[in-house]
Chain A
């Protein structure tokens, strides 16, 4: 089969990125109709992955890839089994519809090309997450989905709410990504494998490790933040600031399921422990209830859907946590069903917003005549969401009740949670699908009529898909549900449920749910008022907490900055030199390796001592000089004395250079100093002098001791011998110093003369640029009245 060739799969994985690259150009050419062309990319991906379904349905696993960083044993490799295949099909299939929908939704938007680009980038990243076999690749793609999500939420970046939501999503999911990385590294450390496909054999080893809990908690940090589990759920509703196609695609159908995907992927190795089977159901159940209750409170169609997405994710986590055969099949069915109906409902909400001009459910009504196709699509999605036959949602809900039903109190509690959650989702589903369409016609900001084909094609297709998938359930199970459930369970599983209801507790629970839903639907307004009152009474939520966290972080960093950067040069200097002194003296004190007491060099000659004394005199004179000129001359004296030292110890080159440099330094110092009207001497308070002198002596003494210690060690002459031996034979030069500079180390010298050159340029520009005095003290460009930065400087 040619489609399974590794090269093709790699190209397919890169296809969204390539499409993202050409999207702006294509959009400039074709306008919103570029959507038709760009949707070909996900469609091609969909078809490519469809090619694997026969093999995967037969229990096969397709892997491929190549070495990426061989030295670290990191590979770019992929794994296609039931789980990743289902996700890949959902991502590419819904992706194609969303691209089309975006074309209609943002028609005429001047940033449409950029939008397409981001969407396709996200698609590539998300595909990478579910298809990755190597941990590192998984992490990279995982963070890439966070980043693209940030870009998409902040797409309308001129609004503050949008920026806040984008930053919030990035902080929460990006932070979770770091936890995930840590978790994967722990797992890597425990098992020694860095690939998911190999990891599956190490389940017992991992569960038996003392670091199991650490790895679990870190991985859960990643999964829970991405999949918006309570109490990290708050970013998801805020992410509704993004344009509706983004909400439909990222924040309901695909990205938020990455956390669930991860849990499902790691279920065979991390699952089946007390921790797993406690943490996941508890957090999942809490998320389910909190999500639905908050959804009731909302009147914005998108926010209602967003909160039910939170609760659906909770339900999925809860089911994954139970880990029984039925729970896993239920999770599989619900995941697929949810992607189809929630994606569809979001697109319907966007369509209503687009055509009627509002998405406030209390200001909508009677649209069924104006928007019949939308109404049908909405109804199909809502029926699936409510779990009524004959849609896929019904199968999922039946399977959920099968999985949960037992008579011990622990299970009964979760049954109750599921019934309440499902019942409230029933309410929201129908509130979104019925309220805007039924009842008397309400005046809307825009005159509503049916949207263009680009807009209703997506939701309608998804609705039909949910229906067909349920009607031909044996086929669905053979190609989708069973392989996926097998991959999650780590052993072969068969899903059998069909649209024909079975008599039993599950059916009764379904009926209870529906009854509860119908009653709640009729009381929706009162429930909403009650929730509003309750939330106002509580008054604090994680969303507020996020603001407090961010402002606290800003205040903390301001305080730390003020502490470590007080803006006083002398403080910086003191700290720096103290550190240097500590670095010099510390190791010697720690290891007790002080230099031996130096013996007086008997061979020291009188003139050498005189030169050394001149250096010292020059130094003292620099400090105590009464006026600047004396200081400069003293500076020159010590410099010339150093040049003499070079001369005395066999370095004529250095000596000449030093003489010239000291002369020039004294000359230009004198040139500049004569022009400065300065106080004659240094004013330091006595205490300051004592402190400064102590620091200076500590540092200087450190250098002295260090140098003594070094010179008391035997000297390794290997390098010098090399230069001495080959200077003439190889480089034809007798002056070894010069040969080193221009030949052996020529490239170094090239860099050094470049530095000299750049310094010269910098000095010239410093001398020539003049800044008007008034603007110097004020570096805030907004506070320069009537002066642009271009006028701020002039060249003399």
Chain B
């Protein structure tokens, strides 16, 4: 699998896929997409990078341990629900704010925070599995 061509394009391919995954994540509320799909795309990107260039560069590139990313995502999702405490509404009620940045109205919500958490859990858990399996290749 580790042909020169594959190894050369893999980093670019991975970056593109990760970017695309974030795009899919953010548009998910109104168009097809969302945390699960985005997370899977990003995880596949990392898996491809791992197959092409080995696992160590991937681990260096994402800096955190994948399971730590997943754990942070889970925490984030749970906390997104807790936010509703401050608005005195039941757990997990969606909350929305519309700050205007550079003249553009940006809808932000606790739901988005939740979806990003989902994304991180899926990226972390799935890529951790894939990387762990790829790592076993060499022993």
Contact = CB atoms under 8 A, between A and B. Distances in A.
Question: Is there any pair of Cβ atoms, one from A and one from B, under 8 angstroms apart in the complex?
Answer: yes
Interface string A174-195: 0000000000000000000000
Given A664-B130, A733-B29, A750-B81, A742 B67 contact: no
Residue with the greatest number of chain B CB neighbours at <10 A, chosen from A671, A731, A753, A754: A753
A795 to B, nearest CB: 14
B129 A742 contact: no
A648 interface: no
User: Which of B71, B77, B92, B128 has most A Cβ within 10 Å?
Assistant: B92
B37 A763 contact: no
Nearest to B74: A757
Interface stretch (A115-123, A302-310, A321-329, A653-661): A653-661
A749 B118 contact: yes
A338 to B, nearest CB: 62
What bracket does the count of chain B residues touching chain A fall in? 35 or more
Contacts of B74: 750, 753-754, 757
Contacts of B51: 667
B31 interface: yes
Contacts of B115: 738, 742
A789 to B, nearest CB: 25
A631 interface: no
A747 B92 contact: yes
A746 interface: yes
Nearest to B30: A734
Given A664-B40, A664-B43, A735-B28, A750 B78 contact: yes
A412 to B, nearest CB: 79
Contacts of B71: 757
A733 B24 CA distance: 15
B70 to A, nearest CB: 5
A776 interface: no
B129 A738 contact: no
Nearest to A766: B132
A753 B129 contact: no
A668 B134 CA distance: 8
B47 A664 contact: yes
A667 B47 contact: yes
A742 B43 contact: no
B23 to A, nearest CB: 13
A689 interface: no
A767 B71 CA distance: 19
B133 interface: yes
Interface in A720-763: 730-735, 737-739, 741-743, 746-747, 749-750, 753-754, 756-757, 759-761, 763
A767 B67 CA distance: 14
A757 B77 CA distance: 12
B34 A741 contact: yes
A757 B127 CA distance: 11
B111 A753 contact: no
A656 B28 CA distance: 12
A335 to B, nearest CB: 59
What are the 10 tightest A-B residue pairs by CB atom distance, in nearest-first order?
A760-B125, A660-B40, A734-B30, A652-B32, A753-B121, A733-B29, A738-B34, A746-B92, A738-B28, A756-B125
25 contacts: A656-B40, A661-B40, A663-B44, A664-B40, A671-B133, A731-B94, A732-B96, A732-B107, A733-B29, A733-B30, A733-B111, A737-B34, A741-B35, A741-B118, A743-B111, A746-B81, A746-B111, A750-B74, A753-B73, A753-B74, A753-B122, A756-B125, A757-B67, A757-B121, A757-B124
Interface of A: 652-653, 656-657, 660-661, 663-664, 667-668, 671-672, 675, 730-735, 737-739, 741-743, 746-747, 749-750, 753-754, 756-757, 759-761, 763-764, 767
Given A664-B47, A743-B94, A750-B74, 19 more contacts: A653-B37, A657-B37, A660-B37, A660-B41, A661-B40, A664-B44, A664-B130, A732-B109, A733-B29, A750-B81, A753-B73, A754-B74, A756-B70, A756-B122, A756-B126, A757-B67, A760-B129, A763-B129, A764-B128
